[in-house]
């Protein structure tokens, strides 16, 4: 997975190679960063370089746990596009209305890192669900470089979509390997990480 110089988010006031340089002092957290393009997250696919071209998306994934071979005990993801994004309201609608196999609670307003947004919780009820925050609606089989796939029923999640100076930034929090009953406790830990976010101008 490649890390780029231009992704628009960082933590603890530090901008470093495309995303969160570190996530607090808790050694139980790990934080990979990467970029996706039209053909995925690898630099060259089938001889096509530059991720297959635009659209490009920057990602930071923060998992609780120290063993990369074991599913994290709670997981959060931050994503946005390198180009212009739809509005927060449009992203919320896309996340809540596309596909089947997920249920959603009511939306509420939220403020994070000094920016306003919309938050909602939900659960995956089907065998698989793909969340697509930015990609255009299509009725054909299609790869979405911004897609967030959940392939296990019973996963519970929270989405926070922020308006950061006109750009929509998606924060996705999910229980992953953690029992769903422990998700509220994990949300408290995730909030401690998210409260360190800085979005440099």
* Range of lowest pLDDT (37-46, 77-86, 122-131): 37-46
Which neighbouring-strand residues pair with 127? none
Tell me which residue of 60, 84, 86, 81 sits closest to 144, measured CA to CA.
81
Which is higher by pLDDT, 46 or 61? 61
Secondary structure (3-state) at 62: strand
170 within some domain: yes
> Tens digits of per-residue pLDDT, 135-193?
877 766 567 888 998 888 899 999 999 999 999 999 999 998 889 999 999 999 899 88
Strands (E), 82-201: 102-104, 108-112, 115-124, 129-131, 148-150, 156-164, 167-176, 197-198
| Distance separating alpha carbons of residues 29 and 4, to the nearest angstrom | 21
175 within some domain: yes
Q: What is the Rg, in whole angstroms, of the alpha carbon atoms belonging to the chain?
A: 16
What CATH number is associated with residue 27? 3.40.1000
Boundaries of domain holding 52: 10-198
104 within some domain: yes
Secondary structure (3-state) at 194: helix
Residue 14 has pLDDT above 60, yes or no: no
| Distance separating alpha carbons of residues 86 and 180, to the nearest angstrom | 31
Share of the chain above pLDDT 90, in %: 40
Tell me which residue of 156, 97, 107 sits closest to 131, measured CA to CA.
97
Identify the burial level of 106 via C-beta atoms within 10 angstroms of its C-beta, where 0-12 means exposed, 13-18 middle and 19 or more buried: exposed
89 within some domain: yes
Computed from CA positions of residues 135, 40, 130, 107, in that sequence, does the dihedral angle turn out positive or negative?
negative
Q: How many folded domains does the chain comprise?
A: 1
1 within some domain: no
Residue 27 has pLDDT above 60, yes or no: no
Secondary structure (3-state) at 52: helix
What does the buried/exposed string (b/e) look like for 146-172 if buried means 16 or more CB atoms within 10 Å of the residue's CB? Answer: bbbebeeeebbbbbbbbbbeebbbbbb
Which neighbouring-strand residues pair with 29? 64
Residue 1 has pLDDT above 90, yes or no: no
4 within some domain: no
195 alpha-carbon distance from chain centroid: 16
């Amino acid at each position: 997975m490649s890390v780029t110089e231009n992704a628009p988010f960082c933590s603890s006031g530090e901008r470093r190679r495309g995303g969160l340089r570190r996530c607090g002092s808790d050694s139980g957290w790990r934080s990979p960063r990467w970029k996706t393009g039209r053909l995925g997250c690898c630099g060259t696919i089938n001889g096509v370089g530059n991720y297959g071209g635009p659209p490009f998306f920057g990602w930071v994934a923060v998992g609780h746990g120290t063993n990369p071979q074991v599913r994290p005990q709670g997981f959060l993801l931050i994503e946005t596009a390198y180009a212009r994004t739809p509005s927060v309201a449009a992203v919320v609608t896309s996340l809540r209305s596309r596909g089947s196999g997920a249920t959603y609670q009511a939306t509420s307003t939220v403020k994070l890192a000094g920016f306003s947004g919309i938050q909602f919780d939900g659960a995956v009820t089907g065998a698989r669900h793909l969340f697509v925050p930015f990609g255009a609606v299509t009725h054909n089989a299609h790869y979405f470089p911004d897609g967030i796939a959940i392939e296990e029923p019973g996963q519970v999640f929270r989405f926070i979509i922020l308006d950061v100076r006109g750009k929509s930034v998606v924060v996705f929090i999910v229980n992953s390997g953690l029992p769903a009953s422990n998700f509220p406790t994990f949300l408290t830990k995730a909030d401690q990480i998210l409260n360190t976010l800085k979005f440099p101008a």
